[in-house]
Structure formats: structure tokens, C-alpha cells
Structure 1
Amino acid sequence: MTDQPKPSLELLIAAPRGFCAGVDRAIQIVELAIEKYGAPVYVRHEIVHNRFVVDSLRDKGAVFVDHLDEVPDGVPVVFSAHGVPKAVPAKAAERGLSYLDATCPLVSKVHRQAERLVAAGRHIVFIGHAGHPEVIGTFGQVPEGDMTLVETVEDVWTISVPDDQNVAFLTQTTLSVDDTAAIVSALQARFPAVQAPRPDDICYATTNRQTAVKAIASACDLMLVIGAPNSSNSVRLVEVAEREGTRAKLIQRAAELDFGWFADVRTLGITAGASAPEILVREVVDAIAQRFDVHEREVETNRETIAFKLPRGLEAA
């Protein structure tokens, strides 16, 4: 008796996908800090939103905490890639803690823009998701009351600002490009004098990953996004695929695959959020290949060559 042949499955893998330069840099900072100072190295908030990455760093000697108060005296602390309010490094300095800032340079750029706009007397409308660490960090760069959050087009019409003629907007770096464009159009309609950031705040990696999903989603019967449920850019990739009319599922690991999803699937799309390592993509593909005769093709829409410098003092570690 011969084994039944496996059903055939076309696999379209989006590129770019997975780690971006900011995530790569943040992880390196934690690893080099452990190498330089020895374990434990404390990290305020998940360094990036990915359980596999966090667990791997924990195994190497990183300790993740939610608040600076949980960091004992005399040990180094790293601030996550999402950025922190100004009060956090100020408090660390006050306590004499040595800290390393792993904030993504593209998030730091938004922080500096916020400071400049407020110094110039403008009120900032910030497009983002309430409660996201990046939003909390950006709001913490300027005095309270100088920035107003909008999450939807509807919000634009209900907010009040001190002076309609003196408004600027900034955005979280990991938003849906299409949703943000709609909110910006509404802002420009309500506040014709609104000042836009130059260049756009949505980061290159978020934009590229969404573009890559758009390029393959309509050709797929199902799209898998590998990423964490608290990862803004990963959740946006699911939404992008669904807007193209394609069923999409967010999974963290191969163990979360449900092969019930695969009934009638002939072409499967796969991508990964900016904080998901490539090893998880391969894990998912290998698990699928145990059940299907997989024909894999990478569809590249852009090639990323960006790399960010490490903080001084760690380069040599």
C-alpha cells in the first residue's frame, strides 16, 4: 500500500517581511549589553513585540519589567524600540542607573519633530492607537495638553484645538498607510492650515510590508501573518490582506496553525511583521510542508538596505 500523495499548495512569500532595521538594532543592543555588562540586563517593556524574541533574550540574561521602579540599583537598563516618555530617562539618571536607549531612530525622529513643533507654538494632532507604547512615549516628549490623539476619521471632527490656524500632525510609525491617508485627508479638510510632517512618519518598513502584502493577497486564498497580537504593524498586515478580499490569520508560531483553515486553499500567502524573525517563517513553512506538496515562491516588491548605528560605547562590545 502506498502513501497518499500530499495535496499541492502554491506558497507566495512576501518580501520584504520580518525584522526591520530598528528591531534588529534594538535586539543587538540588548545582546551587546549582556556581553559587555554581564547578566542580568534589565529591559523596560518588551524590547520588541514578539514572544519568541523576548524569550530568547530572557534565556541570555535579559529581565523584562514594566516599570523603572522594578529595576534594582547598580544594573544597566535598556529602553525598548517603541520609545519612552522623557520622564523615564530623567528618572533613571536621577537614580544613577546606566541606561541604553534602543528607541528606533525613526521613532526618535518623530519625538524631535514633536518638540520642535511645540517650541514653535503649534498644537499637535497625533494619529495613533491609544495605549500603544510608541504613542505613550511620543506624548511624553511634550508638555501635557500640547498634543491631541486621533484614532479614526470620526475623531477628527470631534476634537477641539486651541487655534485652528496653528495645527500640525504627526503619526505613529506603524499605522495602516491607507487608514492614515483617510485621516490626513479629514484633518486637511477640517484644518486647511495643518502642517504635515516631512517626510511622512509611517516608517519605510511598515509601508514596504503593507505594499508586499497588497502585491500577493489578491492571488491568495488565505494569508498568514506571523507576528504578535500586540504588534501594531503585524495586525495592520492582516487588515491590508482582508481589504484585498483575502481571508487572513495572525499567528505567532507554527503551533498555532489550524489546518481546518486550509480547506479549498490552493494558494497561500505568508508574511511576517517587523518584529518576527525569519526562523519563525521557516518553522511555519516546514510545518505546512509536512502536509502539503509545497511550491514556494518569494515575491519581492522592494529591497531594504537600511541599517542603524548602535549607541556609542556598544559598537566596540
Structure 2
Amino acid sequence: MSPKTPRQATVDLVRTPEERFAAISDYPWTPQYAEVGSPGDDTCPGPLRMAYVDEGPRDAPVVLLLHGEPTWGYLYRHMVPVLLDAGLRVVVPDLVGFGRSDKPTDPAAYSYARHVAWTRALCDELGLADITLFCQDWGSLIGLRMVGEQPERFARVVVGNGFLPAGEQAPTTAFRVWRAFARWTPVLPISRIVAVGTHRTLSKAERAAYDAPFPTRRHLAGARVFPKLVPTDPDDPAMPAQRAAWAALGRYDRPFLCLFGKLDPILGRGDGPLIAHVPGAKGQPHARLVGGHFVQEDVGPELARGIVDLVARTS
């Protein structure tokens, strides 16, 4: 009698009903879906459905826009039209746990390495190469780690209010307060968090769009755990990979541009160490703009024009 094949574990997850997005009128692009992860794969578990927008000519230079906590692809609605008008291809994923993507309900299902693996799997599925990356917040933790691990895949990088923590700088007091709040608050007010991190005033409809992906507490597991996953302790399991990626960024000589919102109390000055460390940042027109943490909300078209100019100058 042959031994039984071990049962492959699947991820317990929820999906946000599509009707939750029905009233959103200012993010008109049709979502597409890719399956990422594999049953029984501890590094990249699944299968999970990852949502993304993919617009523009297939043979045009591709711009990958990675959002962070606690937003989704909607954050880039002011940038996508400018990039498309310039003839670029634009790919905007919803990270696992956010937007229209699947949401594992167990916080333990999320890790830094898994987020990187899921996002890389999407890029593999779409065959993305010579990428122009724009990343912010957790999009930077994921995106810059990917650049460090696969620098040949990225033609140029633009960072807005993000960083790659590798034990080089101590976390700010503002970040420590935010992490404690996310961990202990009984209610995680998504749209209020976005509004606090934005310089301009969000409309009622915009706030509703940020709340849309999270109809119940079970949908919030990924958003709630994200701040806890930021590696700040030298013994954090992510730290060896972080340090290797940081070292690789120290050799990255392709164009690297920082466009930061200077009113951000957490990362408003986080551009300095990046500019000093990355060779490709030398001579680039870095800027601190009049924006908060969610700089895409405050000066999205300006950010997009910066990306367009960078592609035009360095292609």
C-alpha cells in the first residue's frame, strides 16, 4: 500500500465583493487578475488572485507603480493618465491583502519575503523587463528589495516617500507611534489614515474609495500587520536579505530619482540617505514637493511628469 500524499495547505482568504467598487468613478481602468503563489510553497504560498491594471501599448516602456499601506491602485489615478498620454505602458498592482486582490485572513500568512515573492510572481507572469519603477511607502520596501535582488530587470527607479530599511537608520518616533497604533487600535480607520497623510483634503467619495476594499475586519488582516513587518530590529528575519539588497543598491548605477513630499513627518527626509548611497542618483533632479506622505494624492500629475521626463532623458 503506497503512502498517502501529504495534503497541500491552502491559504484561508476573503475577496472583496465587486459591488464595493461600483460607485468609484475616477479609477476607470478595467482590473485584470493573475494567480500568484503555489499550494504548499512556504516562500510564496497560494494560490492567490492578484489584481492589477495594465494599460498602454504592449511594446512601450513599462512603468510599474507600487502602492503601500493602507492604500491600493486607486492611489495612482492622478498619475496614470499623464503616463498614458506620454505613450507609456502602465502596470498598477493591488498588493496581496489590498484593493481587489485576495486577502488572507490570518496575519501570520503575511511576511516581508512573501510580499516580495507575490509581487515578483506578478512581474514574471506579465513578462515585465526594463521596468521603470515608481514606489512609495511599503511599495518602496517591496520595490527596492526587488531592485536590489534583480537590478538587471529595472531600467530606472523613482522613489516617493519610501525607503529600504536595513538597520542603517533608526526608525523615527512618528513611525514607532504609527506602528503601535496599527497594532493596538480596535478599529483601523483606513480612509482617515490616508487623509491624515495627505496635505490636501480628500472628498467624501475619495475616502469611500479607500474604505471600499475592507468591508469587514477579516479583510483588514494585511493592512493591520504591515507596519509590524517593517524590519527595524537587527535580529529581524528579513534583515539579512535587506542588507544584501541595500548593498546592491550601493552598486545600482542606472537612473535613480527621488521625488518626496516634504510635509511627511515619517519619511519627508528619507530621500537623503538614498541619494547619498545609490550611484544612479548622482546628478538627477531630485525634489522635495509640497505634499504629505501620500504624495501621489497631493502632486500626482507632477510626479508623473517627472517619470515621463526621466524616461525621455535616459532612454
TM-score by length of 2: 0.29
Choose between structure 1 and 2: higher strand proportion: 1
Higher relative contact order (CA 8 A, sep 6+): 1
